[in-house]
Structure 1
Amino acid sequence: MRASFIHRSVGSVVVLVGAWISAVAPIGIGSDGLVRFETLDTLLRHETLDRGRYSLVGPVLATPLWYLGEALGAPAETVWMFNRIVFLAGGGGLWFVLRPILSPRERPRFAALLLFGSMFPWHVMGFFAEVFHVVCVGAGLALLATRRGWRAWLGAALCAVGTANVPASAVGLGSAACVLVWYERRLRYFAVPALAAALIVLENYLRRGDPLDGGYVTEAGNRTVLPYSGLPDFSYPFFFGLLSILFSFGKGLVFFAPGLFARYPEEGPRGAQEDRARLVYRTWVAVVLGLVLVYSRWWAWYGGAVWGPRFFLFAALPASLVLARWTARAETRSTWANVFVLLAVALSCWVGVNGIVFQGYGMERYWANEFEFEYLTWYVPECSALWLPFVVHKALVWQDYARLAAFALGFMYLAGPVVRVLALRACEGCVRVWRSALLGPRWRV
């Protein structure tokens, strides 16, 4: 009982520290987030709906922050707080939604992995669409998989709104709906992607006069030395896109969400709670699968000149859930499984601290001359966002050191049980070897 109380207390402290780090993260005004802000600014200031390609479903909800900033004289800075508010609120919501199906040891670890061991720390600094999408669809699918009645309807609404904010993710939501239909044997779940499609079509019609015009008709990349550069729309070869999304050094999910590639662990006898937890995991993986299938052919599969695989933030949910379950019961795992889990947790926490502290520092040099050498940041290890800090050194300030210390705390909390089990087994192995050397057959030359 005492050990359980200490564990819960430590977990709560770590989660609170992570939430504070996200709340006071730097503001990264720029890139596509600036375009979204300008679209919202034009709507509120001039009451004009422009024909831009980015959805307004999410940004419109940042209207109170815009008015607050307008009163303070800096609307951009307040609007840029939107993603961290959504993330922290969504994290709290997931805590309660998953409470019946995750053990008290797993819940704080899942939250800590989202806060310290995922791509979220970089994303909360901007005004991109992915945070709103991940929070809404992730929580919505969890509600659909674990609740009934009005809560399930709320989950359906969240899924539809979140998907409408990133229309390309509709295939992912459709994949998750197929999973729900298969396991629940209810066709009504197909209404969820249909509702999302209706919202997407409605926004296209209101903004561009054509239900099928998503605003990307003239989109194309810059022409570089790469053989498939400069082509529009879904022109990238699927095979090369799939390889790059999964395994490229600068954008690959195997490096930025290693938990996604771990096996979902079995936890004792199958029961209702265990089945629901597995269903949540499968719906989340289905969304990721849909995103990978869609973006493998998109000419900008890499997500633009940004840190990491921007389009695949959703992978943080299933990756964090799997690692939370592995680390919560390290004593029941094999030694080699614990070794690989420890490596995955270490890499995940490096992804988190790298995004919020180094933020792709030094990558700008590869974006010059119309992104002539940007491909180096995708495929060359020492030019990727993850490893460039060891090549191009950033001058750190005290806030950066404070964040490094906080992430070290998060890593120690997550990796502690695994390290303890590995240390005990290493000691036991050394003792067995020593006893065998002393008590076994006599040594002879």
Structure 2
Amino acid sequence: MNIRVVEPPNHVPLEDDNRVVARVETGLIVAGFAGMVFLLPRMYWGDGAVRYFQLTALLAQGTVPEGKYSMVGPLFSAPLWLIEKIVGSPEWWTLRYNLLLLVGGVAFVWFALRDRLPRPLLRRFILLLVFASMFTHHQLSYNGEVFTAILVLIGTVALLGGKAWPGWLTVAIGVANTPAALPAMALMTAKWIWDVRRLRWVLAVCAAVALVMAEAWLRRGSPFATGYEADNQGRRTIMPYSGLPGFSYPIFFGVLSLIFSFGKGLLFFAPGLFLPVRQRLRHLAAGRQLYDLWLAFVIGLLLLYGMYWAWSGSLFWGPRYLLFAAVPAAFALAVRCYQSDASAVADLVTVMALGLSVWAGLNGAVFGDVDVPKVCWPDRVGYYEAPICFYTPEFSALWHPFVAGGKPLTVGQWIYLGYGLAVGAYLMAGPLLRLAGHLRTWAIPAAAWVRGVRW
């Protein structure tokens, strides 16, 4: 199925791409990935450890695990598990699985969209996704959110290339790894059906449901057994709606917290998501259609997890379950940086959002949230201090390093931090120069007025 895409107008031709800038930005991306591979330590705890043990049980003993965490994503990492067994480097390859997924997703986005979107815009999007988004922290672990986010990203991009069935199958596989994302997929599919006027794409959601039920049947003996039937609730704390099971949290408070809370809010971890860009995308049909699909998926996740008792993601850094929000957030920031016909106020807002995004990316990669649980979960039993990390800025993972000094960094982390700051300065240069130009325009008449003032 071919989707007609309107090419950008003459003032932003696709072929208008400075070779020197292209090589510099490509080099920054490649070097950044190399730093992630060799400089940053891996996280091996929580759900990621459970998924790894499940994969090991399946491949080493042939035991089909009955646990609640999906095995769809970990199964695709089986080649890495086999490599580490052959070369004798336990866990080294598998714990870099999410990073390899990010590399593969970025590569696919580039080759699929390089002739559909302006290449400078596309490279800026990739730079932001790699260095200034929540992916920097998630790629450190073996958790399942990266697999779902990257496959949904790849699948939606494939749709724009006329590969509708492969694209939706990719999305369905990604969502099957996170069954709670089914409502988000349904909302995104509804947006696609509205755009193309074809009801048959509801079959994509049916395929995802079938995959979820098939895995449940194979592993737990029933297509309706989720694995969350028992022990699916948190401890009772000072929070008025704590201790309830399942999706029992009041959606009003859950959505407010997932957007505005200092420790878990998208406003602080993915600020680009709240920048208005649809008007700027009016000449980029492919970008506008992708952005709308991505937003629909994020809204679906937000509404679903706003009702979940563990909406916060507990100890995990930031809004754990809303990782995919980093995709439209990075794209919106890239569009704002790429377009130069903005007002001073618009450039100021862009600079603020960009600076916060760059810090979120660096913080997630280098500092993470290792020290924060010591404050909010000191005995790991009461959990009474948890609201401190959710709502208080001093104990947010983003700001706690400035309060407590953070953990001692390794040499590799210092190197990556310095490199990340350099990339952040590069990303900030354009918007800052434009903002300085606006200020200069204001300063000249203001100075003339001051000179003319008499007592």
TM-score by length of 1: 0.94
User: By how many angstroms is 1:74 displaced?
Assistant: 4.4
* 2:347 match: 338
One-letter code aligned to 1:65? L
What per-residue deviation string (whole Å, max 9, x for no partner) do you get for residues 207-229 of structure 1? 11111111101111122222222
Partners of 1:171 and 1:406 lie apart in 2 by: 39
* 2:34 match: 20
Q: What's the Cα RMSD here?
A: 1.7
Partner SS, residue 402 of structure 1: helix
One-letter code aligned to 2:115? P
What per-residue deviation string (whole Å, max 9, x for no partner) do you get for residues 241-267 of structure 1? 111111111000111000001112434
Determine whether 1:299 maps to 2:309: yes
Runs of 5+ in structure 2 lacking a partner?
A: 1-14
Partners of 1:102 and 1:69 lie apart in 2 by: 39
Q: Which of 347, 351, 359 is residue 350 of structure 1 equivalent to? A: 359
* 2:298 match: 288
Q: Which of 197, 212, 237 is residue 224 of structure 2 equivalent to? A: 212
Q: Which of 257, 261, 281 is residue 248 of structure 1 equivalent to? A: 261
Off by >4 Å, runs of 4+ in structure 1: none
Q: Which of 75, 99, 103 is residue 60 of structure 1 equivalent to? A: 75
Give the conservation status (yes or no) of the 8 Å contact 1:36–1:127: yes
Give the conservation status (yes or no) of the 8 Å contact 2:136–2:361: yes
Runs of 5+ in structure 1 lacking a partner?
A: none
Change (3 A) 1:428 1:72: same
Moved more, 19-28 or 246-255: 19-28
Name whichever structure is richer in helix by fraction: 1
What per-residue deviation string (whole Å, max 9, x for no partner) do you get for residues 244-300 of structure 1? 111111000111000001112434864xxx222111101111111110111111111
Q: Which of 233, 240, 253 is residue 246 of structure 2 equivalent to? A: 233
Partners of 1:223 and 1:357 lie apart in 2 by: 32
* 1:5 match: 19
User: By how many angstroms is 1:58 displaced?
Assistant: 0.7
One-letter code aligned to 1:174? A
Q: Which of 289, 297, 309 is residue 279 of structure 1 equivalent to? A: 289
Q: Which of 127, 131, 135 is residue 142 of structure 2 equivalent to? A: 127
Partners of 2:314 and 2:342 lie apart in 1 by: 40
Determine whether 1:81 maps to 2:81: no
Partners of 1:419 and 1:154 lie apart in 2 by: 41
Partners of 2:395 and 2:275 lie apart in 1 by: 27
Change (3 A) 1:98 1:32: same
Q: Which of 38, 48, 59 is residue 33 of structure 1 equivalent to? A: 48
Partners of 2:404 and 2:89 lie apart in 1 by: 33
User: By how many angstroms is 1:233 displaced?
Assistant: 0.7
User: By how many angstroms is 1:48 displaced?
Assistant: 1.2
User: By how many angstroms is 1:239 displaced?
Assistant: 1.1
One-letter code aligned to 2:206? A
Give the conservation status (yes or no) of the 8 Å contact 1:361–1:389: no
One-letter code aligned to 2:307? R
* 2:10 match: none
Change (3 A) 1:113 1:237: same
* 1:324 match: 334
Partner SS, residue 119 of structure 2: coil
One-letter code aligned to 1:233? G
Partner SS, residue 386 of structure 2: coil
Q: Which of 417, 421, 424 is residue 404 of structure 1 equivalent to? A: 417
* 1:112 match: 127
Determine whether 1:153 maps to 2:165: yes
Partners of 1:226 and 1:287 lie apart in 2 by: 29
Partners of 2:240 and 2:166 lie apart in 1 by: 46
Change (3 A) 1:373 1:276: same
Partners of 2:178 and 2:282 lie apart in 1 by: 38
Moved more, 197-206 or 416-425: 416-425
Change (3 A) 1:192 1:268: closer
Give the conservation status (yes or no) of the 8 Å contact 1:357–1:400: yes
Give the conservation status (yes or no) of the 8 Å contact 2:176–2:209: yes
User: By how many angstroms is 1:110 displaced?
Assistant: 0.2
Moved more, 221-230 or 102-111: 221-230
Give the conservation status (yes or no) of the 8 Å contact 2:152–2:171: yes
Partner SS, residue 391 of structure 1: helix
User: By how many angstroms is 1:427 displaced?
Assistant: 2.0
* 1:382 match: 394
User: By how many angstroms is 1:73 displaced?
Assistant: 4.0
Give the conservation status (yes or no) of the 8 Å contact 1:97–1:139: no
Partners of 1:143 and 1:317 lie apart in 2 by: 15
Give the conservation status (yes or no) of the 8 Å contact 1:121–1:352: yes
* 1:166 match: 178
Partner SS, residue 368 of structure 1: coil
Aligned residues: 435
One-letter code aligned to 1:343? M
* 2:213 match: 201
What per-residue deviation string (whole Å, max 9, x for no partner) do you get for residues 44-80 of structure 1? 1111112100000010111111112223444333211
User: By how many angstroms is 1:100 displaced?
Assistant: 2.9
Partner SS, residue 293 of structure 1: helix
One-letter code aligned to 2:225? D
Give the conservation status (yes or no) of the 8 Å contact 2:17–2:119: no
User: By how many angstroms is 1:402 displaced?
Assistant: 1.1
